[in-house]
Structure 1
Amino acid sequence: MVEHAETQVLDAEIARLLLKQRKSKGWTVAELAEYSGVSQAMISKVERGASSPSAAILGRLVNALGITLSKLFAEAELSQNTNVLLSKKQQQQHWTDNQLGITRWSISPAGANPELVKIEIPALSEFFMPASAYEHLNGQTIWLLSGQLDIQIDTQLFHLETGDSIALTTPADCKLHNPDHQLPCVYIVAFSQKKF
């Protein structure tokens, strides 16, 4: 029950920050819908905290707003914890995509560079991340902590086993798939944002 309550608090904070980012650009809901490809109805639900968005929807929204998911989560964490320089395990924010069952932990302290994120993908689950979701990054490195992970980058397929790592140096469409029939796969992603 405590974990569910913490997720609701984070969802509410994400809703507040997305609304703040949209308003800081002077955009209407219709404009954000046009730039992100997310429907006005879904944006309204997310901004009111009436719906917990999937990773794909969040990715489209933050990309249209010119920020990364990690920046959004770091700001959500900062608003809950002031002046965080150390990221204790019990303070690390996590979020679960209720549709796909994928869980994401922000494990680096807020404002860290590079940023570290831990992802867990359930057995046989997969998700797609478009190149546009990563265009604000200097690249990223994935290190598989446990399980197996298949990554399709454009038309190339890579199979990772526990301990393997792969660096994505330029934005590309990616499909990540856990081929195991029983076990989740867990990996760490390290990345930094481009300076503009």
Structure 2
Amino acid sequence: MSSIDIDNSLGARIKYEREIRGWSLTEMAERASVSRAMIHKIERGESSPTANLLGKLSGAFGLTISALIARAEANQNRLLKFADQPVWIDPETGYVRRHISPQSDLPIDLVQVTLPSGKAVPMPQSAFAFLKQLILVTQGELIFVEGDIRHRMTVGDCLELGPPVDCVFVNESSSDCVYLVAVLTSK
């Protein structure tokens, strides 16, 4: 799926999630702390949301970013082939998010993230407020800033996220960092 197709699918899904809740654009903007105009542009597929913005929108719905992207993709197969795994690229940082688990009734989502060298991706507290997560570094080094706590993680290190706070994923190294995120959902 091209980035234009995923932008259109995400926009349509965000609009659908907003409308099934009976929220106006104004109410959605207030809940997500995102401008009404930006949500409108995303819903029409005219703008690609950043990772931070997608975190705010999915958090307002009580969904993980993974669940929102998976719903946009609407893949119901138990086997999710590599070539069919939804991939989303943050237009601001080049951060690549690959949803590797198939959409199912299991209460877990698996996501692989590639964070380019020298990049940082902030995530708002609202993206973590309703779920539990583990982060496992599989390549490179990751600095994970969780509120006032700075975790330096290398290959094989696994962290359980604490109480929801604003966080930042940082790659201070000279090569890409790849990590897995296991998200316990309330499906």
Please classify the TM superposition score into its range, dividing by the shorter chain length. over 0.9
Partner residue of 1:106?
99
| TM-score normalised by length of structure 2 | 0.94
RMSD: 1.4
Q: Establish whether residue 128 from structure 1 lines up as the match of residue 122 from structure 2.
A: yes
Work out the CA distance in 2 between the residues paired with 1:65 and 1:194.
13
- Using the aligned pairs only, state the percent identity: 36
Aligned structure 1 segments of 4 or more residues deviating by more than 2 angstroms: none
- Which residue among 149, 153, 160 is the counterpart of 1:160? 153
Work out the CA distance in 2 between the residues paired with 1:16 and 1:86.
25
Contact 1:77 1:110 in 2 (8 A): no
Contact 2:18 2:28 in 1 (8 A): yes
CA-CA distance at 1:194 after TM superposition: 3.4
CA-CA distance at 1:113 after TM superposition: 2.9
Q: Establish whether residue 177 from structure 1 lines up as the match of residue 170 from structure 2.
A: yes
Gaps of 5+ in 1: none
Specify the SS of the correspondent of 1:23.
Answer: helix
Contact 1:94 1:106 in 2 (8 A): yes
Q: Which amino acid aligns with 1:90?
A: A
CA-CA distance at 1:172 after TM superposition: 2.4
Work out the CA distance in 2 between the residues paired with 1:50 and 1:116.
28
Out of 165-174 and 51-60, give the one that drifted further: 165-174
Partner residue of 2:3?
7
Work out the CA distance in 2 between the residues paired with 1:17 and 1:146.
32
Partner residue of 1:142?
135
Work out the CA distance in 1 between the residues paired with 2:64 and 2:183.
11
Work out the CA distance in 1 between the residues paired with 2:69 and 2:31.
21
- Which residue among 18, 22, 25 is the counterpart of 1:26? 22
CA-CA distance at 1:120 after TM superposition: 0.7
Work out the CA distance in 1 between the residues paired with 2:11 and 2:124.
22
Work out the CA distance in 2 between the residues paired with 1:41 and 1:178.
31
Paired residues in the alignment total 186
| TM-score normalised by length of structure 1 | 0.90
Q: Which amino acid aligns with 1:123?
A: S
CA-CA distance at 1:66 after TM superposition: 2.1
Work out the CA distance in 1 between the residues paired with 2:2 and 2:135.
27
Partner residue of 2:179?
187
Q: Which amino acid aligns with 1:152?
A: V
CA-CA distance at 1:48 after TM superposition: 0.3
Q: Which amino acid aligns with 2:130?
A: H
Gaps of 5+ in 2: none
CA-CA distance at 1:69 after TM superposition: 1.1
